[in-house]
Amino acid sequence: MNASLLDGLRGRLPELALKTAAADLEYYGRDWTRRWTPAPLAIALPSSVEEVQGIVRWASEQRVAIVPSGGRTGLSGGAVAANGELVVSLEKMNRVLGFDADDRILAVQAGIALEAAQAAAREHGLIYPVDFAARGSCSIGGTIATNAGGIRVIRYGNTRNWIAGLTLVTASGEVLELNRGLVKNSSGYDLRQLVIGAEGTLGIVVQAQLWLTDAPPESNTMLLALPSFEALMRVFGVLRARLQLSAFEFLTDKALAHVVAHGAQKPFDEDHPFYVVAEFDADTEEKRDAALTAFGELLEAGQVADGVIAQSDAQAAALWRLREGITESVARYVPYKNDVSVRIGAMPDFLAQTQALLAQEYPQFDVVWFGHIGDGNLHINVLKPDAMENADFVRECGRVTALLAEALQRHGGSISAEHGIGLVKKPYLSSTRSAAEVALMRSIRHVFDPAGIMNPHKLLDTGSTHPVYGETA
Ligand code: 2HG
Ligand code: ZN
């Protein structure tokens, strides 16, 4: 059955690269969540927009569900294909298409890795400022699908600030050129922004125009050891007022222990409960002095217990590794990940309540906290004990996440700050979006994709019986 179905696709697009080997289905059918067993129908690897159109038209006729696929570094299951879907991998569409110096726009195919786009920007003396640890493997298309944030949101904002335009292949196979690089465009609904963060439910992003910006002034990095959660937000307030921060990231002692066990250098002899990695402009004597003075005063006031300011690029990179290496260092424990946000002002109260909640509900688990605290974004990774079945572990974490979602709702926060809803957060969407909002989102999705073939079961359930291949055939 599958073979004859795919023969139809092959007949329609003879040049299209298709993979069906078991190892490929396994490889392309999963993301970093490792929770679902991959079971796609096949992997299509188009080389052109026209091929993507052909695939979508065929899938739409045959009612085959599509999972758009980038680097699959996602943490919410948005790129999982566990239900007979056709994975449409953009990995062959990974080129820079051009640079426009007047508009400072880099045009790329969606399958390009973030790091490659960043490198291309630097060739023109500019930067693409969205950045995070998975830069080498995630794709620009994936960052658009989730409106990815990362480590410099505090200065530059999320992905959506940097997308000057995008090319979308809709579920009917039409090509939409959204916004076309315009800085000003007050002509009705901004469909570009609707597509950013839509997790592949409104179509397949095949190309993007990225706004670039000036390289920042020379920066420096400091690592601070903090005595308490309360100190964290106070230190943030002081540093934000007195330095030009480009990052303010935190991690707990447990997070540090995992990164160090994974090979990173232990930064201080003593252990401390919390650490901050802060990056700040240090291109003048005055700015460097301001950092030293602020550090001295915080130390004196007992808000900071210890600290180090990098003396070289290598040392700055080593300090960043302590923060950026966390995800990899805990990966072997198949963590249950929360990625939550509240307004900065609500953070102290939310932190206190969440800390109490998790201490009470998770006495048996290793809970690793870290994240982009300067953006109000916390990552909470709950590590699975080796002896526990994954299903039992996920059920228990799901129960506690429901309580966390209630706390978020009370604080006006979000169940997903930057990883997306995917499959993992779907049960908790209503803690962040009202019933009226969810109903509108559902209707919008239906308008874009009446047959329900675009990444079904992700983000929100449409209520219809999704014509996923295998269910209707
Ligand atoms: C980060 O900030 C990423 O390092 C991953 O968003 C977070 O692994 C996580 O939970
Ligand atoms: Zn993050």
Whose Cα sits closest to atom 9 in ligand 1? Answer: 327
Q: What separation, in Å, do the N-terminal and C-terminal C-alpha atoms of the chain show?
A: 9
CB-ligand 1 contact for 381 (6 Å cutoff):
yes
Helix (H) or strand (E) holding 8: helix 2-12
**Index of the ligand 1 atom closest to the CA of residue 133:** 4
What's the confidence (pLDDT) of residue 465? 59
* CA angle 31–32–38, rounded 5-degree value: 40
CB-ligand 1 contact for 327 (6 Å cutoff):
yes
CB-ligand 1 contact for 379 (6 Å cutoff):
yes
Q: Which of 17, 9, 6, 31 is nearest to 424 (CA)?
A: 31
Q: Which of 61, 22, 62, 13 is nearest to 42 (CA)?
A: 22
Look up the CATH architecture of domain 2-89. 2-Layer Sandwich (3.30)
CB-ligand 1 contact for 341 (6 Å cutoff):
no
| 295 alpha carbon – ligand 2 mean position (Å) | 25
What's the confidence (pLDDT) of residue 1? 62
**Index of the ligand 1 atom closest to the CA of residue 337:** 10
User: In a mutational test of the pocket of ligand 1, which residue from 75, 151, 383 has the highest number of ligand atoms less than 8 Å from its CB?
Assistant: 75
**Index of the ligand 1 atom closest to the CA of residue 419:** 6
The answer to whether the beta carbons of residues 355 and 274 sit under 8 Å apart is: no
* Fold for the domain defined by 96-214: 3.30.465
The widest CA-to-CA distance across the chain, in whole angstroms, is 74
Q: Fold identical between 2-89 and 96-214?
A: no
**Index of the ligand 1 atom closest to the CA of residue 380:** 10
* Fold for the domain defined by 330-430: Alpha-Beta Plaits (3.30.70)
User: In a mutational test of the pocket of ligand 1, which residue from 76, 135, 256, 327 has the highest number of ligand atoms less than 8 Å from its CB?
Assistant: 327
For 179, list phi and psi in degrees, rounded to 5. 75, -30
What's the confidence (pLDDT) of residue 139? 98
Pick the CATH number of 219-327 from 3.40.50.10860, 3.40.190.80, 3.30.70.2190, 3.30.60.50: 3.30.70.2190
The answer to whether the beta carbons of residues 429 and 402 sit under 8 Å apart is: no
| 442 alpha carbon – ligand 1 mean position (Å) | 28
| 332 alpha carbon – ligand 2 mean position (Å) | 18
What's the confidence (pLDDT) of residue 466? 59
Whose Cα sits closest to atom 6 in ligand 1? Answer: 150
Pick the ligand that lies closest to the CA of residue 324. 1
Inter-helix orientation angle 49-62/2-12, to 10°: 140
User: In terms of DSSP bridges, do strands 204-211 and 274-281 run parallel, antiparallel, or are they unpaired?
Assistant: unpaired
Q: What residue ranges of the chain have pLDDT lower than 70?
A: 1, 463-473
CB-ligand 1 contact for 76 (6 Å cutoff):
no
- As a whole number of angstroms, the distance between CA 164 and CA 192 comes to 9
pTM: 0.96
Number of residues in the chain: 473
What are the structural domain ranges in the chain? Answer: 2-89, 96-214, 219-327, 330-430, 431-472
What's the confidence (pLDDT) of residue 3? 82
| 125 alpha carbon – ligand 2 mean position (Å) | 27
**Index of the ligand 1 atom closest to the CA of residue 370:** 2
Inter-helix orientation angle 390-410/347-361, to 10°: 150
